[in-house]
Amino acid sequence: MDISVVVPLFNEEESLPELTAWIKRVMDANQYTYEVLLIDDGSNDTSWQVVETISNQNPAVKGIKFRRNYGKSAALNVGFSHAKGDVIITMDADLQDSPDEIPDLYNLIMKEGYDLISGWKQKRYDPISKTLPTKLFNWATRKMSGIHLNDFNCGLKAYRNNVVKCIEVYGEMHRYIPVLAKQAGFVKIGEKVVEHQARKYGKSKFGMNRFINGFLDLLTITFLSSYGKKPMHFFGLLGSVMFFIGFLMVLFIGGEKLYYLQAGIRYRLVTDSPMFYVALTSMILGTQLFTAGFLGELVSRNASERNNYQIETYKNVE
């Protein structure tokens, strides 16, 4: 099969017939073999009934329905696990992503050898309340991930099949699929300017809480990628530095006290010095951080996936 189109959806009953008909026209015109996976993320309108109707009319359209709303990442993860095409293309169900981009995306993967192509909505039809946080988010992601994409959050992306089979998307991680792919060893990541259309039906599901959650997930994925299998390198180092600083401060306070006593000069109690409490706090926090690193290392050593490495191919291995 040439292409699998994975479409997460939530309350998109009006746009689904038009979207699937548009996808079919593009596929037939280019003579692709394809499937369309519509992942209903717990819609509370008639979206699932529409999916069933479309699927009965076009066997290439398949549906998966969640009992409740789990989020876009869960829908994509399930869609990826069921996708069979050589190229997997994701797009939103609100008609803001154009299926006319599919042939170019397919060629970039199959002919140009890219592992992943991310769409870039250079000209957007969204309000500033959505575009401004998106710009800040993209800037922060570029700086922290080292991947120079202009639009990480664009729903229109294309992947080589083995890319989506080697990553797990959860939480709000759908924004960071290029980062997850890079961590899995897929480094040929490109970008293509795509058309962004104004929303035709319904209303946007975007909220400021998604921006905040997305930033927190960025911190999570950055930390896990660097220290997920070696927590002692982070917590142990930080704890040791803090403990050492606190210990030096204690030595300074004690030495100063002894100097004044030897000189016969009246000097205040050690506990009257604010530096004593700063040093004590630093040593306690350092010990706790070191212990956290040690416990994290024990958990990591006993994790079932500790030696789960992505292997591209074998040669002369019996």
The predicted-structure confidence for 201-212, as pLDDT tens digits, reads as follows 766 655 556 666
Please check whether residue 221 is in contact with residue 175, taking contact to mean a CB–CB distance below 8 angstroms: no
pLDDT at 195: 85
Domain final residue, candidates 227, 248, 269:
227
Q: Is residue 88 part of a domain?
A: yes
pTM > 0.75:
no
pLDDT digits (tens, 9 = 90+) for 154-204: 889 999 999 999 888 887 788 889 988 988 889 899 999 998 776 677 666
Distance CA 146, CA 135 (A): 16
Predicted pLDDT at 83: 95
Residues 204 and 268 in one domain: no
| Same domain assignment for residues 189 and 292 | no
Residue 284 pLDDT greater than 80, yes or no: yes
Q: Which helix (H) or strand (E) holds 254?
A: helix 237-262
DSSP-derived pairing of the beta strands 87-90 and 116-120:
unpaired
The string of DSSP codes covering 210-252 is HHHHHHHHHHHHHHHHHHTT-HIIIIIHHHHHHHHHHHHHHHH
DSSP 8-state class, residue 196:
B
Together in a domain, 73 and 181: yes
Q: Is the pLDDT of residue 142 over 80?
A: yes
Q: How far apart are CA 61 and CA 37, in angstroms?
A: 6
What is the predicted pLDDT for the residue at 54?
96
| pLDDT for res 254 | 84
Q: Within this chain, do residues 208 and 221 fall inside the same structural domain, yes or no?
A: yes
Task: Determine, yes or no, domain membership for 309.
Answer: no
Domain interval for residue 272 = 231-301
Pair (72, 174) in one structural domain:
yes
pLDDT digits (tens, 9 = 90+) for 38-95: 999 999 999 999 999 999 999 999 999 999 999 898 999 999 999 999 999 999 998 9
Task: Tell me whether residue 318 is in a domain.
Answer: no
pLDDT of residue 261: 79
Q: What residues form DSSP beta bridges with 193?
A: 120
Task: Kindly state whether residue 293 falls inside one of the protein's structural domains.
Answer: yes
Q: 90 — phi, psi (to 5°)?
A: -110, 145
Last residue of a domain, one of 184, 209, 227: 227
Q: Mean pLDDT across the stretch 144-150?
A: 84
Q: Which residues contact 269 (CB under 8 A, 6 or more apart)?
A: none
Residue 317 in any domain: the answer is no
Within a domain: 308? no
User: Are 102 and 33 members of one domain?
Assistant: yes
In this structure, which amino acid lies at residue 310? Q
- 198 and 90 within one domain: yes
3-state DSSP assignment of residue 68: coil
189, 114 in Cβ contact below 8 A?
yes
Structure token digits, residue 39 = 């992942």
One domain for residues 192 and 244: no
pLDDT score of 210: 62
Q: What tokens does 226 get?
A: 């660097």
If 0-12 CB within 10 Å is exposed, 13-18 middle and 19+ buried, where does residue 86 land?
Answer: middle
Label residue 231 by pLDDT band (50, 70, 90): confident
If you average pLDDT over residues 247-255, what whole number do you get? Answer: 88
- Whether residues 138 and 39 fall in one domain: yes
Do 247 and 209 fall within a single domain?
Answer: no
Structurally, the chain folds into a number of domains equal to: 2
Residue 310 lies in a domain: no
What lies within 8 Å, CB to CB, of 126 at 6+ separation is: 134, 204, 206
Q: Say what the pLDDT of residue 111 is.
A: 93
- For residues 133 and 66, membership in a common domain is answered with yes
**pLDDT band at 301; cut points 50, 70, 90:** low
Kindly state whether residue 306 falls inside one of the protein's structural domains.
no
**How many Cα atoms occupy the beta-carbon half-sphere of 295 within 13 Å?**
6
Q: Are residues 150 and 263 in the same domain?
A: no
Average pLDDT, the chain: 84
Q: Residue 45: give its domain's CATH number.
A: 3.90.550.10
The per-residue pLDDT for 19 is 95
Q: What is the dihedral of CA 138, 141, 143, 147, to 10 degrees?
A: -90
Q: Last residue of a domain, which of 170, 195, 227?
A: 227
